[in-house]
């Protein structure tokens, strides 16, 4: 299957409309067609900037997919029907479009009523305002409840995944082991999503953690970066590209979301799609973070 990279738009608010327009056009020229938003990114400004770009370039809308998320409010989560509908309407207005290709529910809301969500999804789908639905950061049992009560299929799950933050991978390696990596952080999410044809999207694909920032050239991960350098030289790409190629190598056909606003970095990162790491290279990168195979 074709390897996919999406552009995360969380940092668009730091750019002028002209700079953001150049970034979006560069992404499209690099065959990126999925653009990931959320109603909270830049307190709504990111969607507004993207909308200005679409207004300037009306021919772009038919060439791309716009994905946005809702459900996070200040101090709490809200997946009520009223909030979902309100935020979709707000996003449509900000993005200056009459439909959203993919709507994701951003975080699990402990108080969510699945039948209420079903009503929201039905209204949005039948009105043509949202074409597909998914979730973000949800486990298999939460999704099973969607499958029971919500008629619109859940087609996507956006999850944190990088070479350093790889609990999703650990679960498949340390089955029934006593190591700390065997702690159940994901409940077999990769396998579950593959069983049910749910596309996984990785967020923070180049991050070590929120507190540490990027894994690239981070002093806590010297062994990893040394190996990234060796492989970057072998494949004649950047270390960023190798780190993304590691995600794309997984047979779950994960879409890697990258949030760079630098055109040159974007050009280098998309080269990851052309790299097929060997098994030895993939596992060597995994082990370089500090894991030991059981």
Torsions phi, psi for 195 (to 5 deg): -60, -35
CA neighbor of 67 nearest in space, from 252, 206, 201, 249: 201
Six token digits for residue 144: 């099973």
Contacts of 117 (CB under 8 A, 6+ apart): 79, 81, 84, 105, 146, 149, 150
- Topology of the domain covering 5-160: TIM Barrel (3.20.20)
- Closest C-alpha among 150, 255, 245 to residue 193: 255
Q: Are strands 76-77 and 100-105 parallel, antiparallel or unpaired?
A: unpaired
Residues 6+ apart with CB under 8 A from 251: none
Indicate the pairing of strand 76-77 with strand 72-73.
Answer: antiparallel
Tens of pLDDT along the chain (294 residues) come to 689 999 999 999 999 999 999 999 999 999 999 999 999 999 999 999 999 999 999 999 999 999 999 999 999 999 999 999 999 999 999 999 999 999 999 999 999 999 999 999 999 999 999 999 999 999 999 999 999 999 999 999 999 999 999 999 998 898 888 888 878 888 899 999 999 999 999 999 999 998 999 999 999 999 999 999 999 999 999 999 999 999 999 999 999 999 999 999 999 999 999 999 999 999 999 999 998 899
């Amino acid at each position: 299957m074709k390897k996919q990279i999406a552009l995360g738009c969380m940092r668009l608010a730091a750019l002028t409309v002209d700079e953001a327009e150049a970034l979006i056009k560069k992404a499209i020229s690099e065959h990126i067609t999925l653009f990931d938003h959320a109603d909270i990114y830049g307190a709504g400004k990111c969607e507004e900037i993207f909308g200005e770009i679409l207004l300037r370039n009306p021919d772009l809308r038919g060439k791309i997919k716009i994905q946005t998320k809702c459900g996070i409010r200040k101090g709490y989560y809200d997946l009520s029907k009223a909030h979902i509908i309100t935020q979709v309407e707000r996003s449509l207005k900000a993005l200056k479009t009459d439909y959203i290709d993919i709507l994701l529910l951003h975080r699990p809301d402990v108080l969510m009523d699945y039948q209420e969500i079903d009503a929201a999804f039905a209204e949005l789908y039948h009105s043509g305002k949202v074409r597909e639905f998914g979730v973000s950061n949800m486990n298999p049992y939460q999704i099973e409840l969607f499958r029971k009560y919500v008629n619109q299929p859940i087609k996507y799950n956006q999850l944190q995944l990088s070479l350093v933050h790889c609990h999703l991978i650990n679960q498949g390696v340390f089955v029934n082991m006593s190591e700390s990596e065997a702690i159940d952080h994901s409940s077999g999410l990769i396998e579950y999503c593959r069983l049910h044809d749910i596309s996984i999207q990785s967020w923070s694909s180049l991050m070590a953690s929120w507190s540490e920032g990027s894994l690239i050239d981070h002093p806590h991960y010297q062994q990893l970066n040394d190996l990234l350098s060796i492989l970057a030289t072998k494949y004649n790409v950047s270390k960023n590209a190798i780190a993304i190629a590691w995600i794309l190598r997984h047979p779950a056909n994960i879409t890697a979301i990258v949030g760079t606003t630098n055109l040159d970095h974007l050009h280098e990162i998309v080269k990851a799609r052309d790299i097929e790491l060997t098994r030895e290279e993939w596992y060597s990168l995994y082990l370089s973070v500090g894991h030991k195979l059981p």
